[in-house]
Every structure is written in C-alpha cells, then in structure tokens.
Amino acid sequence: MTLTALAALVPLLPFLGAAAGLLLGRSAPGFVRPLAVLPTAASFVLAAVVAARQGTGAPTDAAHRLATTGSVPVDLALHLDGFSVLIAVLVGLVATCVQVYSLAYLRDDPRYPSYAGLVSLFTAAMLLVVYTGDLMVLLVGWEVMGICSYFLVGHYWETETARAASIKAFLVTKLGDVPFLIGVFALGADAGTFRINGILAAAADGRLHHPTVVALLLLAGVAGKSAQFPLHTWLPDAMAGPTPVSALIHAATMVAAGIYLVARLLPVFTASAAALAVLAAMAAVTMIGSGLAALAQDDIKRVLAYSTIGQLGYMAGALAVGDRRAAVFHLLSHGAFKALLFLGAGVVIHAAGTNSLTAMSRMGGLGRRIPDALWTMGLSLASLAALPPLSGFFSKESVLRAAEHASAGDTAHVPSAVGWTVLVAALVTAVLTGAYATRLFLLAFRGSGPEVPDHGRQPLAMTTVLWVLALPTVAFGGLTYRELPHWFGGPSGDGLGPVLTTSVLGTGLAAVGVLVAYAAWQGTAAIRGANPIGAVVAEPADAEPALVEAEAIDTHAEVYGDVASAEDLGDPGRLLLGPLHRSAAHGFHLDAVYGVLFVRPVLAAASLVRFLDRDVVETYVKGAGGTPKLLGAAVRKAQTGNVQTYLGALLAGAVVLAVIVAVGA
C-alpha cells in the first residue's frame, strides 16, 4: 500500500467509524464500542506506520483535483512531512487513549453512541487538518472540529453550565473563524492557490502583497482555536464537558490545530514583523495571565485548562520567535503529559467525588486510594513544571533557547524585542507553572482530614491509559530531542537540545516556584486545619465516573458560590497571589469586559432589531391586516339585524336623492 493511501486512510478510518457509530448507535448498540475504539486505534497504528515510512525523508505531496472551481483551485491535497506525521501520531495516540478511557468513564451513559461518534469525527477532522496540503480542505476539518467541540462540550446539556459553555465555545471560536476565513481567502487570492506549498513558495518569493493583514487575520482564528489571549475565555468554561473530551481538546486536537497551522504557515508570519510582534505580545500576555489564573482556580480541571492556555502560549511564543521546531516539539510533549493530566484528573474527580481542590485538600488518603493517578499525575505535573529529565523540560527548554536566540538578534526576520518579550514571559511563567503545578499536586493528593469516601475501584481501562501516557511523558523529550531536528527537516547542527544558560534559568525558576508553593502550602496548613470546608461528595460508590463529574461541575457554583474559585483561606494560591487572587480566579474579569464590550451591545442590537421588527415592521403588517378588519367591523356594526335601522338608512338615502333631484331639476 502506498504511503499516500495509508495516509489517506488515517483520517478516513475514524470518520467511517464515526459515521457507522452514529448510524448504528440505536439499532445495534453492541457495535458502538468496537466502532469507537477500533477505527481510532487502527488510525493510530496507521499514523505510526506512515510516520515510520515517511521518516526523515523529503516531504510527500499528493493532490487530486476533484473539480475545477472558477478562480483559485481547490485540491484534495496531502502533505506529509516530519511535523504532520508526528502530530498525527500524537493525535492518534491521544484519541485512542481517550476512546479507551471513555469506555470506562462513560460506561453507562445513554448518549455514549453519539459521544463516541463525535469523538471519532473530531479525531478524523484533526487528522484531516494535520495531513492536508490545501487550506480549503484544512478549513473543512477546522470547522468540523468547531462543531464537534460544541456538541462534546455540551454533552451534559441538561446542566446550565454545559449549555452555556458549549455555546460560548462555539461563538468565541467562530468569532475568530470569521477573520480567519477572510484571511484564508486573502491568502489564496494573494498566492493564487490554496495549496500550502504554493503559498509558502509565494511567501518565500515575497509575492504576498498584504502579509501583515493576512497574518493578523489568520492570527485571530488561531487565537480562537488555540485559546490565546484575548479569545481564550471559552477554554476554561469548556471544562463542563466530560473529562476525556477535555483531554482530547486540550492535548492533541482543537487547540493544537491553531499552533500547527501557524507552524505550517510560519513563512507567511515571518514576512511581517508586526504579526510576529502581535503574536509575541499575545503569547506573553497569555502565558503570564494564564499562569496567575491557574494559581487561583479551585476546580482541578480549570487549573489544567489555564495551564493548557499557558503552554499554548509557550508554543505561540516559540512561533513568534520563528522557531517552529521548538513549538511543535513542545506541542508533542505537551500533548502527551496534558492528556495524562486530564485523564488523571478524571480519576481524581471520580475518586474524590468532587472537582474542587478546596474540598480535596480537606480529604485524607486520596493519594493512597488512587496510587496510579498519584504517580502518573505527579510525573506529568513535574513535566509540566519542566523539571528535568522529563519531556516537558526538554521541550520547554527548546522554546527558551529559541527565545534567547532571538533576543540576541540571531534569528532572521525576528526582532530582538520579540525575543526578549517571549523570553521574559516564558521565564516568569516557568515560576508560575512550578507554583501552580505544586499547588495542584499538594492540594489534591496531600490533603488531610476525614478519609475520602469510597467510590469504588478505578476501572482498569482508565488506569492503564494513565500508565500508557506516562511513558511519553517521561521519556519522549529525552529520547527524541536529538532526532527530531532531522524529522523537522532543519539542519542537524541546529538542535533542540538544552543549553546551559536557559536550562539553569528555567529549571531554577521552576524550582523556585515549586518551593514557594510548597512553603505557602505548609504555611497555610494550619488555616486549612482550622477551617474545615465540608467536602461535597456527589455520588455513592460505583456510580459512573462521568456522572460524578457532571454533578460535581454542576454543583460547584452552588456550593462554593462561583464556578472558578472557592472561598478558601487555606489555599496557598490565595496566599501567593494576595490581592490578585480574586481577579485571577475570574480570568482577570475578561468575561465581564466582554460582556460589556460585546454581549451587551449585541443584546441591545438584538432588542433594537426586535423592536424594529415587532413595533415598526409589524405595525405595517398589523395595519395592513387591521385596517380591513376595522372596516369589516364597521360594516358588521351596520349589520345590526334591526329592520328599522336599515329602513331608516334606506329612507334617508331616498330623501337625499329626492332633494338632489329636486334641486338639480
């Protein structure tokens, strides 16, 4: 089988699985689970085969023109290179893990067939985005992911939170997609083709007429999809979806799509220093802000969500300094450990019966009950905090190194100010990352207080998946940083390995963060002991994990007064953030700002339209209907049935006629 055919099968298999699963969901429930797992797993294997066969060779391109369009041709194109095949492997891995995990996590869910189908479709769309060589086809996958995320985030549509989160996710990403679409058209118009290779060639030749405009337009879409400031607000709220969905979205698919796109089109961006500056500023703000916010969150999944935003900021920063290899490297390692973190968080939530760190910090023995989650999450959090020798260390180190390189002005097209911005922000974020990772770990697993209620043994599917993902979390970075440059097609000398300055700085700062958080945790232990906040434990033993989570999310605001935070004086994050805590917990009130800036004007406009429709347009309509009605009523009034009235009118008319005739004569 040719490489091209294999690669084509990779997105096709999950798609067929999704179609079959959605079609057969009702009539043949027995086929649903195999249809969910097997195509995805097969797709993963095929992606691995494709990766192996593609290897470090030259990029493979294949195209088939379905139909001639009017002006700019649209091709069904395939583009395989080091980036795409590796990301495809990651997507396949995470998707397979998520599907397996979901078998246990959503074992009793009545809507499991549609859920699994949508996950498969999601995976297929992402794989399409990864493999495609044509922007238009990419756009198709891009939008399919958007709609799938809408459905998946709103999986528990019975709860208000999930409904609001799904709509928010959809609208915010669409907000970015509109300029993105325009950008794609502009790009296509400028380059005369939608083929990425052609565009890149055009960019290299300087044939793009409006690189800044195009880049900024594309950036809007990227910010929406990859949850970069200022369009990141949908991502924390998307935690209302089931945990596996979060893992899928955060680790490998949706948010990665934006980064991947910029990585693919990097020459377009480097053509415009302004775009790079904007990207850098965006990344810097995203990184620091999300780090602060993550430190204040109470919901374990929201902490992870903000950490995702932060790590995406790293990747964006790497792109801003023109090093897409670092960005993709971080994308790959982050995909592994973030998937692990989310899936582990699912286990924790199930075991604790709550998603609140505050509640977990008042529980004893959670770590003992779920040792798998304890160890894997500990490893992945360390990886997140970039402690050597875990994967996260190497990938983040490559980002820092690229930024440092750029700040020195050694990178072509990239202003040194951009490099400095990214470098400083990345270093500050390293401290914050260390701090919130430590806080999460300590609050979740080192809590003291009454014993955790028994929620039954964690399903084997879930724990196994954790250990499977732990492997790349630990080893990926260290094993591959020497090989990857070959895959990414760069010169071999220009490696991704750590250099002394940045690794010492990064690791040191991360360690500072860890220590400070630990000290704060210790310092607040007494307060936590003095203020026992009752753990709200949702479900009795043996309930389906997803139900526990759904209920925990749904009741969080009810119990703690807020979706994001809890009034816990013993929270080390509160101690560390001080007065910032409150605004950080609410994402620096960006939602409120949006509410004032967009939601209210839109609502006002809607009410204006409503007014125009109801009271202005409808007045004419009603008038058109009402006037004959009134006339009819008047005529009907004349129809009194009283003979004398009729006669009176008749005779009066006769008299009038007589007078007219008499006078006229």
Partner 1 sequence: MNPGTVLAAAAHHPGFLSPTGVEITFVLVGLATLGAALLTVTTKQLVHAALWLVVALGGLAVEYLLLTAEFIAWVQVLIYVGSVVVLLLFGLMLTKAPIGRSPDADSGNRWVAVGVAGAAAVTLVWVVVDAFRSTWINLHGAVQGTSHATGTSLFRHWVLPFEALSVLLLAALVGAIVLSRRTDGGKETE
Partner 2 sequence: MHLAYPAVLAALLFCVGVYGVLARRNAILVLMSVELMLNAVNLNLVAFDVWLRDTLHAGQALTLFTITIAAAEIGLGLAIVLLVYRNRGSSDIDRLTALADPAGPRGDGTGRPGAGEDPDGPGTTAGDEKAEATA
- Contact footprint for partner 2 (CB under 8 A): 636, 639-644, 647-648, 651
Cβ density class 278-316: b for 16+ within 10 Å, e for less: bbbbbbbbbbbbbbbbbbbbbbbbbbbbbbbbbbbbbbb
Residues with Cβ within 8 Å of 545's Cβ and at least 6 positions away in sequence, in order, are 104, 105, 106, 243, 346, 347, 349, 350, 459, 462
31 touches 24 (CB < 8 A): yes
Residue 372's nearest CA partner among 244, 243, 460, 463 is 463
Give me the least distance between CB of 655 and partner 1, in Å please.
5
Cβ distance to partner 2 smaller for residue 68 or 642:
642
Give me the least distance between CB of 179 and partner 2, in Å please.
54
Cβ distance to partner 1 smaller for residue 500 or 663:
663
Give me the least distance between CB of 654 and partner 1, in Å please.
8
Give me the least distance between CB of 632 and partner 2, in Å please.
9
545 touches 461 (CB < 8 A): no
CA-to-CA distance for 207 and 210, rounded, in angstroms?
9
- Confirm or reject binding of residue 664 to partner 1 (CB under 8 A): no
- Given the rule CB under 8 A, which of 252-260, 268-276, 498-506, 643-651 is the region that contacts partner 1? 643-651
Among 27, 68, 71, 642, binds partner 1 (CB under 8 A): 642
Give the contact letters, 601-640, x = binds to partner 1 (CB under 8 A), - = no. Answer: ----------------------------------------
Cβ distance to partner 2 smaller for residue 643 or 665:
643
Give me the least distance between CB of 647 and partner 1, in Å please.
9
- Confirm or reject binding of residue 471 to partner 1 (CB under 8 A): no
- Confirm or reject binding of residue 658 to partner 1 (CB under 8 A): yes
What, of partner 1, partner 2, none, does residue 639 touch, CB below 5 to 8 Å by kind? partner 2
CA-to-CA distance for 14 and 42, rounded, in angstroms?
9
Containing 86, the helix (H) or strand (E) segment is helix 82-105
Cβ density class 481-519: b for 16+ within 10 Å, e for less: beebbebbebeeeebbebeeebbebbbebbbebbebbbe
Among 70, 558, 662, 664, binds partner 1 (CB under 8 A): 662
Cβ distance to partner 2 smaller for residue 68 or 639:
639
Cβ distance to partner 2 smaller for residue 1 or 643:
643
What, of partner 1, partner 2, none, does residue 634 touch, CB below 5 to 8 Å by kind? none
Cβ distance to partner 2 smaller for residue 643 or 663:
643
Give me the least distance between CB of 663 and partner 1, in Å please.
10
CA-to-CA distance for 297 and 307, rounded, in angstroms?
11
Residue ranges in 545-564 that form contacts with partner 1 under rule CB under 8 A: none
Residue 366's nearest CA partner among 439, 465, 444, 442 is 444
Give me the least distance between CB of 642 and partner 2, in Å please.
5
Residue 104's nearest CA partner among 241, 242, 302, 236 is 242
CA-to-CA distance for 216 and 218, rounded, in angstroms?
5
What, of partner 1, partner 2, none, does residue 636 touch, CB below 5 to 8 Å by kind? partner 2
Give me the least distance between CB of 631 and partner 1, in Å please.
22
Cβ distance to partner 1 smaller for residue 596 or 658:
658
- Given the rule CB under 8 A, which of 79-87, 139-147, 406-414, 651-659 is the region that contacts partner 1? 651-659
- Given the rule CB under 8 A, which of 130-138, 259-267, 378-386, 646-654 is the region that contacts partner 1? 646-654
> In whole angstroms, how far apart are CA 596 and each of 233, 234, 564, 591, 593?
15, 17, 20, 9, 5
Cβ distance to partner 1 smaller for residue 530 or 643:
643
Cβ distance to partner 2 smaller for residue 68 or 644:
644
Crossing angle, helix 82-105 and helix 112-131, to 10 degrees?
Answer: 170
- The single-letter code of the amino acid at 402 is A
- Given the rule CB under 8 A, which of 119-127, 154-162, 602-610, 654-662 is the region that contacts partner 1? 654-662
265 touches 222 (CB < 8 A): no
Give me the least distance between CB of 633 and partner 1, in Å please.
20
Peptide bond into 230 cis (omega under 30): yes
- Given the rule CB under 8 A, which of 47-55, 176-184, 619-627, 653-661 is the region that contacts partner 1? 653-661
Residue 503's nearest CA partner among 388, 648, 602, 650 is 388
DSSP, residue by residue, 282-297: HHHHHHHHHHHHHHH-
What, of partner 2, partner 1, none, does residue 27 touch, CB below 5 to 8 Å by kind? none
- The two tokens of residue 93 are 């891995």
Give me the least distance between CB of 637 and partner 2, in Å please.
8
658: left (phi over 0), alpha (psi -120 to 50) or beta: alpha
Among 491, 641, 644, 664, binds partner 1 (CB under 8 A): 644
Residue 593's nearest CA partner among 193, 289, 332 is 289
Give me the least distance between CB of 636 and partner 1, in Å please.
18
Cβ distance to partner 1 smaller for residue 522 or 640:
640
Give me the least distance between CB of 622 and partner 1, in Å please.
34
Residues with Cβ within 8 Å of 621's Cβ and at least 6 positions away in sequence, in order, are none
What, of partner 2, partner 1, none, does residue 68 touch, CB below 5 to 8 Å by kind? none
Cβ distance to partner 2 smaller for residue 471 or 638:
638
CA-to-CA distance for 539 and 542, rounded, in angstroms?
8
Per CB under 8 A, residues contacting partner 1 are 642, 644-645, 648, 651-652, 654-655, 658-659, 662
